[in-house]
Amino acid sequence: MLRDKLRGVLGFPVTPFKQDLSLDLEALGSNVFEMAKHAFCGIVAAGGTGEMYSMTPPENMEVVRRTVAVVNGRMPVIGGVGFNARIASEMAHEMEKAGADALLVMPPYYMNAPTEGLLDYYAAVGHASGLPLAVYSRDWAVFTPEMVARLAEKAPALEIWKDGQGDARKYQRIMAKVGNRLAWLGGIGDDCVAPYFAIGVQGYTSSISNVAPKLSLALAEAGMQRDFAMLDRLLYKYVHPLYALRDRKRGYEVSVMKKMMDLTGLKGGPVRPPLENVTPAEEKMIQELLDLYGDYL
């Protein structure tokens, strides 16, 4: 099963846009080709870092289609879907035809949904295709252990849980409640790999994979080996300074990564509104940070 293969770290590519903010599929293909040279256990196309919500459903399809073609079976490709039950279900159906191996379901647009409506949303997407489902618990889509257990019964396609809350205490309770019915992934950021692996996740999604794949793999390896001394060294030297920059403004988890890519010769490009590009002063700070990354570039 797919859930058994997702051990280690998943690449999380950005979606490059041209200066007029149109989709740059050539740049996407080039970036994914470089990322797929490394031993990731999967690649997530059109996820949060990939600005799924900034694109139209047809654009998301193009991103997944191009990613699948470039990866060419070397590792699973997971496509991001969302918006609402109808649109997400249509996207799921099309992504299955495009060759995706699984779906990452983002929270629906309506943030005041009741519990039953939220579970029905994920279940509807799960029944829309034959693909395994990964739920991304992020932002307002907060789950109790009982809710996750109910959803696992309601949506048989659910195989993977991606945490985006960063609450290790609650996540551990969820994992204990549901057990090995699901694959458990860390998803809030590279800076949280220590608590994630401490409670027993089998992998995590990395935005650093866009710039320094070797660092992402080193973090995952240390986490799986429970070598927390090594994790501390990697986090303090490389990850925490990066996340300090990302925390300067909402949405900078994408903007900063794209600028880092541009500065290293990859193709990040601008972000689409409502996100903002980094300032010239921040670009200089990012360049100084990259000087630290020499061992992993």
Beta strand 203-206 pairing with 42-45 = unpaired
Return the amino acid letter for 206. Answer: S
What's the distance, CA 253 to chain centroid? 11
**Cβ count near 121 (within 10 Å):** 21
Sign of CA dihedral 178, 180, 186, 192: positive
Residue count of the chain, please give it. Answer: 297
Catalytic residue among 121, 122, 136, 204: 136
154 carries an active-site annotation: no
At residue 108, the 3 state secondary structure works out as strand
Calpha distance 204→189 (Å, rounded): 8
136 carries an active-site annotation: yes
Catalytic residue among 122, 162, 238, 258: 162
Residue for token digits 């599929």? 25
Calpha distance 80→114 (Å, rounded): 23
User: Which residue(s) pair with 45 in the sheet?
Assistant: 79
Beta carbons within 8 Å of 50's beta carbon, 6+ residues apart: 12, 13, 14, 15, 44, 63, 80
User: Which residue(s) pair with 133 in the sheet?
Assistant: 103, 158
User: What is the separation, in whole angstroms, between the first and last Cα of the chain?
Assistant: 33
The catalytic residue positions are 136, 162
